[in-house]
Structure 1
Amino acid sequence: MISRRIASRGVAVLLATMTALLAGTLAAGAAPAVVAKPAPPAPRTEPESDLVPGVPPTGQQWQIDTPDQVLPPRTYTPTPREDRIEPRRAPAGAYDLVEYVPLSDAVTKVTCSKQTGPYQRQVERWLGLKADGRQSGADCKAIRAFQLTYKIKPAIGFAGPVTWSTMMLVSAKKSPNAAKNCPVRSYKVACVDLDRQLTWVQKGSKVMFGPVPMRSGRAGHVTRKGWHTIYWRHKNHVSTLYNQPMPYAQFFDGGEAFHAVYGSIYTTVGSWGCVNLRLGDARTLWDVLKKGDHVYVWGRRPGT
């Protein structure tokens, strides 16, 4: 009983003290505290998985998955006749630079996108804009100008994967190994840059092939980094897993190989580990490399 009385007196004293303090504050002319307004929501950044081709797909150019081997192939020596047969040509428009954009932008066919792209900050930085990662009218105008110059469709100023990949290729044209990430050797080295999604071949400081754009492995199936050796080549290989063509396949690590795909390599979904190339690039690389040549892989594909 006594403890309850003491507790009650304590609460009463505390309330009286708080009331007195509040009264003194108001008497002194101090304004009561104002509750801060919630901050405005950050602009939405479209994840790559939610994007769609900005122009209607035609033919076979929008092959979402890639016909990779995954498991090591059964190696054998192709017959001379088999080696003479060239893989079929890619359909017209298969490698057009078609940007991936939000569905709402594609449906309404906007002139200038107001949405923040997944590569917003990188694209802003490349163009010398304020790299705040937020789409603005000035950003859209500058991105759209770049897209028009390099024939990226639709040119609506959205900072998507095709625009970013094109910037990486343009930057690397003169000196792809300027950062010295690919080891310089007296022999040929096929360089696979996962950071910029580029491939080239160098011997010493001389670039023998590329750089060219590529598509490497997706999350969970990343292209394995480090040194590899081309151990088997098959010009007309067919995936034993998907029963799909892998033209000009050059295997360098288990089921991972350089090979062409009959569709866009700029899709937001990565491969199952292989280095996917456009048909013409894969054909040229076939003539540059041979069995026993070295491959060096480094970096990290964006989004993996």
Structure 2
Amino acid sequence: MGDIRRRGVVALGVTALVTPLTLALTSAPAQAASCTTQAGPYQKQVEKFLGRPMDGKQSAADCKAIKAFQDKHGITPDIGYAGSVTWGVMDLMNKQKAVGDKPNKDGKCPTNKGRIACVNLSLQLSWIQDGNKLVYGPVPVRTGRKGFVTRTGLKKIYWRDIDHVSSLYNVSMPYSQFFDGGQAFHSVGLSMWNPPGSHGCVNMTTATAKKYWSLLKNGDDVYVYGRKPGT
């Protein structure tokens, strides 16, 4: 692999339209139509999330709303079926929202390290704190999928490359900040709930990656903990 730039190659999550949380997909009815008429096993939950009437019955309007959500986040098949993948994403969003502005309420991310970037794999959230003070976040992130999990533990940012390009996958990885071999924070042009996840990096929106770039530097600590559902 040679120099540090080659060693810094990371695996960007590709748009392999599978499960965002590597949840098992409830078999959706196969049909040629772009929208299914069948209610899924999570119909009521999905209807509630989308603000639809909670009758547990599929309607054309229900299907249109579910399909739009699936298309936005790269969930397939995008036929408006309320299966486990679609509900899994919505459930995660609900849990992320419930965290509010206290992402380290459980105290699992160290508060004795000064400025540190925390990554909660279980909730797919990241934030930056300084002692007990929340500096930025929490924000949703997209971490490693099954077989390419983001490694847990205490690490340090050791190399930053604002215009990094992966020579392994030939993809742009702006605002890369490497903290564990080839694993890094960097931006992607995908939904943070796009399946199935990265090849180990912590993917972020461009706005978040820029903020992390401005707030962190080489030598700053990174703490990764928890376990992404399905990995």
Give the TM-score normalised by structure 2. Answer: 0.71
> 2: distance between equivalents of 1:236 and 1:103?
44
Answering whether residue 193 of structure 2 is matched by residue 261 of structure 1, we say no
- Counterpart of 1:208 (choices 113, 117, 135) is 135
Larger relative strand fraction: 2
Secondary structure of 1:301's partner?
A: coil
Unmatched 5+ stretches in structure 2: 9-24, 53-61, 71-79
Tell me, yes or no, if the aligned pair for 1:161 and 1:268 is still in contact at 8 Å: no
Asked which structure has the greater CA Rg, the reply is 1
> 2: distance between equivalents of 1:207 and 1:106?
49
Determine the structure 2 residue equivalent to 1:115.
40
Describe how 1:72-221 pairs up with structure 2 within 5 A.
73-74=5-6, 102=28, 107-109=33-35, 114-116=39-41, 135=42, 138-145=44-51, 153-154=68-69, 158=82, 159-221=86-148
Secondary structure of 2:129's partner?
A: strand
Cα deviation, residue 290, structure 1: 0.6
> 2: distance between equivalents of 1:295 and 1:106?
47
Determine the structure 1 residue equivalent to 2:74.
none
> 1: distance between equivalents of 2:180 and 2:158?
8
Alpha-carbon distance change, 157 to 177 in structure 1, aligned in 2, over 3 angstroms: farther
Give the TM-score normalised by structure 1. Answer: 0.55
Secondary structure of 2:92's partner?
A: helix
Cα deviation, residue 161, structure 1: 4.0
Tell me, yes or no, if the aligned pair for 1:252 and 1:295 is still in contact at 8 Å: yes
Runs of 4+ in 1 over 6 A off after TM superposition: none
> 1: distance between equivalents of 2:217 and 2:202?
16
Cα deviation, residue 139, structure 1: 3.4
- Percent same amino acid among aligned pairs? 40
Answering whether residue 226 of structure 2 is matched by residue 299 of structure 1, we say yes
CA RMSD of aligned residues (A): 3.2
Cα deviation, residue 264, structure 1: 2.2
- Paired residues in the alignment total 189
Unmatched 5+ stretches in structure 1: 1-68, 77-99, 117-134
Alpha-carbon distance change, 154 to 261 in structure 1, aligned in 2, over 3 angstroms: closer
Cα deviation, residue 184, structure 1: 1.3
Cα deviation, residue 218, structure 1: 1.4
Letter aligned with residue 194 of structure 1: L
Letter aligned with residue 273 of structure 1: G
- Counterpart of 2:174 (choices 236, 244, 247) is 247
Cα deviation, residue 263, structure 1: 1.9
Cα deviation, residue 268, structure 1: 2.1
